[in-house]
Structure 1
Amino acid sequence: MANIIITGSSRGIGFQLAQLFANDGHQVLALSRNDAPIAALENKNITSFSFDLAKEKDFEKLDSFLNKNWKQVDILINNAGKLVNKPFLETSMEEFEEVYRVNVFGVAKLTQRIIPLMPASGHVVSISTMGGVQGSVKFPGLSAYSSSKAAVITMTELWAEEFKESGPAFNVLALGAVQTEMLQEAFPGYEVNTTPYEMATYIKDFSLNGNKLYNGKLLQVSNSTP
């Protein structure tokens, strides 16, 4: 059984992921700014506390938990993301920075914290979006979000190269549209058939097994546009 950290676990895909892993007997640390939904599950295999990728004091809280409870992290899933949906000329630099603080700097900081605790067989899976893939269809209003998710793709490739001899493995999944709250924020009224549970099931299996065949790879997980 693995020790697994999942960010962005209060809703959508992350919420489903935490339950899927825990119900299979894995130990899950579910991190999100609002941990009430996951805590309400009262699942004995899930530990949760409020965690903001943009706050240094929350990283200190994470360090304290890991030092006391876990000596090893087998899987890290960088699932959390911040979205601003606004025309570029109306997007303030403060808003742009807030998105990058979570989606880029927060992901880098958390990954940097966790790598020393991971075995060679460990797996870091970061969640990006099809909008961050070079040459994919782009949509107005998502300059900050999509460009930040493009940075996650490049960081993944760089980390895989840097740790290719020692491990862990690093891969990134660029997701297409999933019927989540974030999809509604980006594309109000848009509906798709892929549910958070279905996508979480795929991500769970990939997190456990994908590093056997992939490292430093971008996989496009999408059956629709956007």
Structure 2
Amino acid sequence: MNKNIIITGTSRGIGFELVRLLAKQGHNVLALSRNTKPISQLHFDNISSFAFDLCNEVDYKKVADFIKKEWKHVDILINNAGAIINKPFAQTTFKDFEKVYQTNVFGVSELTRTVLPFMKNNGHVVTISSMGGIQGSMKFAGLSAYSSSKGAVITLVELLAEEYKETGPQFNVLALGAVQTEMLEEAFPGYQAPTSAKEMATYIQDFALTGNKYYNGKVLQVSNSTP
């Protein structure tokens, strides 16, 4: 059965591949990104897209208005968008941390809050985190803002699962290891990850559609390497 699915961070990498895979399966997809050009070139009738900035409060109303007008309900929300800064901690600024947290934590909470009234009790909110946000995992110098924000969002999801356990929807986190994306290349130039964006998107696609039958409030570590 075709589902209504919202995905953030869709202009490149995992998000772009997810839109393509899910639309190809016949699902209705709302692709949200500041840059809508890559998605517009896919030419699927079941993909909707408009410019959306997680840091702009006004844009959230656009999402709510779209759902009310076009869909009425949402089955799956995939919080995929992320911001990363690789910089020695002493050189980071208040603004650096604010920028990363606005996208990786505040944006996730605000979009989830916006979409929740339209989700059914068997809906699924999937948030993409990082192995760097797992307590006790190997940490990397320079990622103080990024990895701490990814830790924060893991705890946020656990809290939401508890708060909505009687009514649904279900909330889960995928803590990804290194995936070969443009974002990884920008943060770690020259590093070759063992997993491609398309491979990871294929895994996330299946988990988003079926994972809430087996998991709620869980963090799955999706990594075959360190990092």
Q: Distance in 1 between matches of 2:102 and 2:5?
A: 23
Q: Distance in 2 between matches of 1:2 and 1:36?
A: 24
**Number of the residue aligned with 2:146:** 145
Q: Distance in 1 between matches of 2:134 and 2:183?
A: 18
Percentage of identical aligned residues: 66
User: Secondary structure, in 3 states, of the residue corresponding to 2:166?
Assistant: coil
**Number of the residue aligned with 2:113:** 112
**Number of the residue aligned with 1:13:** 14
Per the TM alignment, residue 79 of structure 1 is displaced from its structure 2 partner at its CA by 0.1
What code does the residue aligned with 2:17 have? Q
Q: Distance in 2 between matches of 1:165 and 1:219?
A: 22
Q: Distance in 2 between matches of 1:23 and 1:204?
A: 11
What code does the residue aligned with 1:47 have? S
Please give the root-mean-square deviation of Cα atoms over the aligned residues, in Å: 0.7
User: Secondary structure, in 3 states, of the residue corresponding to 1:219?
Assistant: strand
**Number of the residue aligned with 2:24:** 23
**Number of the residue aligned with 2:129:** 128
More strand by share: 2
Matches within 5 A, 1:122-201: 122-201=123-202
Q: Distance in 2 between matches of 1:133 and 1:217?
A: 12
- TM-score between the two structures when normalised by the length of structure 2: 0.98
**Number of the residue aligned with 1:225:** 226
Per the TM alignment, residue 64 of structure 1 is displaced from its structure 2 partner at its CA by 2.0
What code does the residue aligned with 1:137 have? M
What code does the residue aligned with 2:145 have? A
Q: Distance in 2 between matches of 1:60 and 1:153?
A: 25
Of 102-111 and 61-70, the range deviating more from structure 2: 61-70
Q: Gapped runs of 5+ residues in structure 2?
A: none
- TM-score between the two structures when normalised by the length of structure 1: 0.98
Q: Distance in 2 between matches of 1:156 and 1:57?
A: 24
Q: Distance in 2 between matches of 1:61 and 1:20?
A: 25
**Number of the residue aligned with 1:207:** 208
Q: Gapped runs of 5+ residues in structure 1?
A: none
Structure 2 contact 64–115 (Cα < 8 Å) conserved: no
Q: For each residue in 1:99-121, what CA deviation from the matched residue of structure 2 results, as whole angstroms up to 9, or x when unmatched?
A: 11111111000001111110011
Matches within 5 A, 1:12-91: 12-91=13-92
Q: For each residue in 1:135-169, what CA deviation from the matched residue of structure 2 results, as whole angstroms up to 9, or x when unmatched?
A: 00000111101100111100110000000000000
Structure 2 contact 160–171 (Cα < 8 Å) conserved: yes
User: Secondary structure, in 3 states, of the residue corresponding to 2:152?
Assistant: helix
Per the TM alignment, residue 66 of structure 1 is displaced from its structure 2 partner at its CA by 1.6
Query: How many pairs align?
Result: 226
Q: Distance in 2 between matches of 1:221 and 1:88?
A: 27
User: Secondary structure, in 3 states, of the residue corresponding to 2:195?
Assistant: coil
What code does the residue aligned with 1:101 have? Q
What code does the residue aligned with 2:6 have? I
Per the TM alignment, residue 89 of structure 1 is displaced from its structure 2 partner at its CA by 0.7
Q: Distance in 2 between matches of 1:20 and 1:161?
A: 31
